Chain A
Amino acid sequence: MSMEDYDYLFKIVLIGNAGVGKTCLVRRFTQGLFPPGQGATIGVDFMIKTVEINGEKVKLQIWDTAGQERFRSITQSYYRSANALILTYDITCEDSFRCLPEWLKEIEQYANNQVVTILVGNKIDLADKREVLRQRAEDFAQAQSMLYLETSAKESDNVEKLFLDLACELIREAKQNKLDNNDTAPMPGEGKTISYLNCCSLN
C-alpha cells in the first residue's frame, strides 16, 4: 500500500430507496455526467475518484447498491467496512423520506460504529414538485446526528460539495483516531483484503 499514490483511501456506500438518484450522484461526481434514463449499471461494483484536499490525495471508492434495495434485500456485507454512508432520498417523494428510519435501522445493525452518515435530499432541480420540506429533513438529520445536504445530480448542484465535505470529515476523523489511538476494536479494513489474497495468488 505504501507505494500507492494517495494519502487516504475511503469506502463510501450509498443507500436509500430505489429511484432516488443514488447512481446519478455517483456518476455525476466520478464522471461528470448525468445519465439519461435509468440504465442499470451492470457490472460496475464501485467507482473511484481521487481528489486533493489540502494537498493530500484522497482516493474515494464509491459503492452503489447494485439494485438490491429494490426489494429491500441489501446484503449486510455491503455495509461492512464502509467509512461513510450516503443516505439518499428524493425531495419530490415523500415515501422515500418516510423510509429513512428503516434505513437507519439497517445502518445501526450492520455498519461500523464509527461510520460517518450524511443525509442527502436529491432532485432539487424539481423544486416545484417538492414534497419534503427542507426544514423537516434538517430536523430529522439533526435528531439523528447526521450531516444534511440537498443536491441535484442533474444540475450538478452540491454534488462535488457532498463528496468533498465527506472526504474532509473522513480525514478529520482519521486524524482524530490516530491521535486517540485508543480504540481496541478492529477498524474496518483491518482484516486482510482482496489484495492480500490476490497478492499471493501466484502459484
Chain B
Amino acid sequence: MATEDLPSDFDIVILGTGLAESVVAAACSRVGQRVLHLDRRSYYAANWASFTFNGLLTWIQEQNEEPKPEEVRDWSGLTEEGEELIHLSQADSASITNLQVFSYASEEEEEEEAANTTEEEKAADEEVVKESSETESADSKEEEEEKEGAGEEEEQANQAEGEEPEADQPHPSSPGQSEPSREKISYAQLVKEGRRFNIDLVSKLMFSRGSLVDLLIKSNVSRYAEFKNVTRILTYRHGNIEQVPCSRADVFASRQLSVVEKRKLMRFLTSCVEETEEQTAYHGRPYLEFLRDQQLGDNLQHFLLHSIAMVAEDTPTEEGLASTRHFLRSLGRYGNTPFLFPVYGLGEIPQCFCRMSAVFGGIYCLRHSVHCLIVDRDANRCKAVIDSRGQRISCSHVVMETSYLDRSKVATPPRFLSRAVLITDSSVLPSESNQQISMVTVPPEGGSPAVKMVELSSSSMTCIPGTYLVHLTCRSVGSAHQDLSPLVTRMFRTTESQEEDRRPSVLWSLYFNMADGMASQVEGQPLPSNVHICHGPDSALGHEDAVQQAASIFQRILPEEEFCPPAPNPEDIVYDGDNSSTGEDRGDMGQDDGQNPEQNQNQENPDPEQNQNQENRNQNQENPDPEQNQNQENRNQNQENPDQEQNQNQGNPELQRVGPEESPSSS
C-alpha cells in the first residue's frame, strides 16, 4: 500500500518529526497550509522518541551499525535551467555517540533461584549475547573517540564483560530484605513485557506554566494526551536523598526544616516573586551570594539553588531569580510540584502535534526521505525537493532537522549531553505510595557536573509494575558513562552487595551521548532563505527552546497568521444534513483565521443536552470545513443568541472553562 506516490505540490515540506518540527507542522496545517511531513526513520519523534524495551534494543542496534555509504544519485534530470541541487544527508550519524549497555538482571527463567552458576551459559539467550557484543563494539568505538581516561576505559570494558550474567548478577533475593515483596525481575521478563515500557531518549519535564503546556492548551492538542503530576522533588545531598519542600503545604509539613527555616523559606519565596531593589543590587553577581546574604542557612540555600532555581553556583542573580520565579509560577497550578509528565512518555508530545497536523490535512509518511533540495539560483530560494523515490515535490518552504544537512556543513556540535537510562527495582526514596514520579536534583560535586534525574514509576505507563525508570542527564564532560556511572554506582546497586544494602538495584542500563541541540551551528554557505533548520533537544529541563524555535520558524513562514489557534471542539462541529441539529446559534466570534473567508466561526450546538454545558466550551470555535458551513450564514441572520451570559463571556474563552465538564479533582 505504501506504493502510492506522494502528491507533488505542497506549501511546506518538513523533514524530521522532532518536537519543534511537529509543532511547526501542526501550526502550518492549522491555518490551511498544505504540509508534507516526512521522517526517514520508522518511528515518530526523532531524538525525542520513546521506545518500548524491544524497540530500544533495536534502536541501539541501529546506532551501532556502520552508516551506509551515501549513495550519490544523479538527479540533474529533474532540474530545470537555473536550478541547482543541495544534497541532504541520508542518515543521522552524528547526534548519538558512546552508546553502552549493561545488563544486571538475572538471565534465568522465573522459576529457579539458585543454580545460576551452572545454568548461566545455557540461559544466556541470543539477545544478550548480541548485546554484549554491541557493548564491546561501543567500547572500542569509544576508545577511538576518547583520548583521555584510558584507564577508566579499561575498567568499563571489564564491566561490560561483567555484564555477562553471572558476575554482576544482583543477588538471589534474600529473605531478610527490607522489602519482602521485592521480586527479582529477569531479563526475560523485561523483554517479554517490553512493550509496556516507554523509554524516552530525552529526559525533560513540562513546567505547568511553561510554553509547552500553554501551547498544548491553547491549540487543543492537549486532548491527545494525558498527563501526570511529578509528585515530589528530591535532592541528593551528603549521600542521602531528601525531599525538597517547595509548596506551602510541603514547607509546613516538612520535618527536615526547623520552624525558623520554614518561616525564612516562606518569606523568601513570597518576596522573590516581585523584583525588589535589593535584588537589583545583586545583578551580575552570583545567585549564591544573594542567597547567602539572605541568611537562609545551608539547608535552604541548597534547596533554593539546586532544586528550585536549578542553576549553578556562579549563575548571576537575575538569572537565578528568573529561574526561581519560573518554578514558583508553575507551582500549584496542577499539583504540589511545578511539573507535569505525559503518560506514555515524552515521545507522545511530538506525535500529538503530528496528529493535529494530520487532522488539518497534513500528509504523513515515515521511512521516507528527501535526497536533495532544488534551489533557484537567482532567487536563492528552494523551489522543490526530490524525495527518496526520485519524485520532484514543489514547495514554498522547507523545514528540517539539523541531521538532514550534509555533515560537512554542520560544525560538529561542540557540546553533548550525557544520558543514562536505568531500569531499577525500587525507588531511590521509598514512600507509602509506590507510584511517585520524582524529580531529583544532584548538585555538582568535585568537578562532576550537576545531574538532573527523573524517576518514573509504572503509573506513568513508561515501565512495568515493580520497576522504575530512571533518567539521568547532564552536560557532557567526558562520555556519558564517565560522567554518570560514578553517581549511578553511588546511588544504586550494580553489583551483588551486602544484604543490608537498601539502594535500588539496577536491572539494566544504557549510557549514551546526544548532541546538545542548542550548541549546533550551521556553517558553510548560507542556506536558501526559505529553508529553516530545527536543532535537536537541548539540555534544559523544560521545552521552552523547542516551542520557541517552532514559533519563530512559523513567524518567518507565515508572519500574518496566528500560531496554533484553538482547534474546534469536535462536539461543537455541526454537519449539514444532520437532522438532529436543533441547537441554537453559538454567536459570532468574529475572528477568522484568515485562511478561508468562508470559514465561519459560528458554532452550533446540535444537541440540546449539551447546551447546558455551553459555557464550559471554548467559544472561540471555528469550523474548518467550508462545506459544513454553507448554511451557517443564513442561520446567523435568522437567529439571535438567547443566551446573554454567553455573549458577555465571549471575550475570554479560557475563563469559561470551569464547570461540570471539567474534572473537579484538578487543583
Contacts and interface: CB of A to CB of B under 8 A. Distances in A.
B667 A39 contact: no
A194 B578 CA distance: 27
A93 B559 CA distance: 46
Interface in B185-228: 195, 213, 216-217, 220, 222-228
- Counting chain B CB atoms within 10 Å of each CB, the highest count among A40, A44, A110, A200 belongs to A200
Interface string A11-54: 00000011000000001000111000001111111111010000
- Counting chain B CB atoms within 10 Å of each CB, the highest count among A95, A109, A196 belongs to A196
A65 to B, nearest CB: 8
B226 A42 contact: no
Interface size class of B (residues with CB under 8 A): 35 or more
25 contacts: A1-B660, A42-B360, A42-B361, A42-B624, A46-B570, A66-B358, A68-B355, A71-B2, A72-B1, A76-B344, A77-B344, A78-B355, A99-B1, A189-B226, A191-B461, A195-B662, A196-B227, A196-B334, A196-B662, A196-B666, A197-B216, A197-B334, A199-B662, A201-B217, A202-B658
A1 B662 CA distance: 6
Contact of A70 (B220, B363, B625, B662): B363
A80 interface: yes
A145 interface: no
A192 B333 CA distance: 13
A184 B360 contact: no
Interface in B338-364: 343-344, 347-348, 351-352, 354-355, 358-361, 363-364
Interface in A171-203: 184-186, 189-203
B658 A71 contact: no
B97 interface: no
A181 B213 CA distance: 33
A4 interface: yes
B70 interface: no
A95 B625 contact: no
A82 B348 CA distance: 15
Contacts of A196: 227, 334, 662-663, 665-666
Given A72-B366, A195-B661, A195-B662, A109 B226 contact: no
A75 interface: yes
Interface of A: 1-5, 17-18, 27, 31-33, 39-48, 50, 66-68, 70-73, 75-78, 80-81, 95, 99, 108-110, 184-186, 189-203
A44 B52 CA distance: 30
A73 B357 CA distance: 13
B348 A193 contact: no
Nearest to A47: B570
Contacts of B627: 39
- Counting chain A CB atoms within 10 Å of each CB, the highest count among B4, B213, B226, B658 belongs to B226
A14 to B, nearest CB: 14
Contacts of A45: 223, 359, 567, 570
B222 A18 contact: no
A68 B227 contact: no
Nearest to A43: B624
Interface string B135-165: 0000000000000000000000000000000
B46 to A, nearest CB: 13
A194 B222 contact: yes
- Counting chain A CB atoms within 10 Å of each CB, the highest count among B2, B333, B360, B662 belongs to B662
A202 B226 contact: no
A71 B108 CA distance: 41
A185 B458 contact: yes
Given A108-B195, A192-B227, 5 more contacts: A66-B359, A71-B2, A77-B225, A201-B217, A202-B658
Contact of B663 (A39, A43, A78, A199): A199
Contact of A75 (B213, B354, B367, B609): B354
A190 to B, nearest CB: 8
B658 A67 contact: no
Contacts, number: 184
Contacts of B4: 70-71
- Counting chain B CB atoms within 10 Å of each CB, the highest count among A17, A18, A72 belongs to A72
Nearest to A199: B662
B663 A195 contact: yes
Q: A interface, by DSSP: helix, strand, loop or mixed?
A: loop
Interface string B96-132: 0000000000000000000000000000000000000
A199 B618 CA distance: 11
Contacts of A191: 226-228, 343, 461
A197 B577 contact: no
Contact of B228 (A33, A80, A192): A192
A106 B6 CA distance: 23
A193 B359 CA distance: 19
B571 interface: yes
Given A71-B4, A71-B364, A48 B666 contact: no
Given A1-B663, A33-B577, A77-B348, A44 B222 contact: no
Interface string B605-638: 0010100110000000001110100000000000
Nearest to A66: B358
B561 interface: no
B620 to A, nearest CB: 13
B568 interface: yes
B264 interface: no
Given A77-B351, A198-B217, A201-B217, A186 B458 contact: yes
Contacts of B365: 71, 73
B334 A43 contact: no
Contacts of A66: 355, 358-359
Contact of B358 (A2, A67, A185, A200): A67
A62 B363 CA distance: 21
A196 B613 CA distance: 16
Contacts of A199: 657-658, 662-664, 666-667
Nearest to B1: A17
Interface in B451-469: 458-459, 461, 465
A68 B224 CA distance: 15
Contacts of B660: 1-4
Interface in B538-580: 567-568, 570-571, 573, 575, 577-579
B44 interface: yes
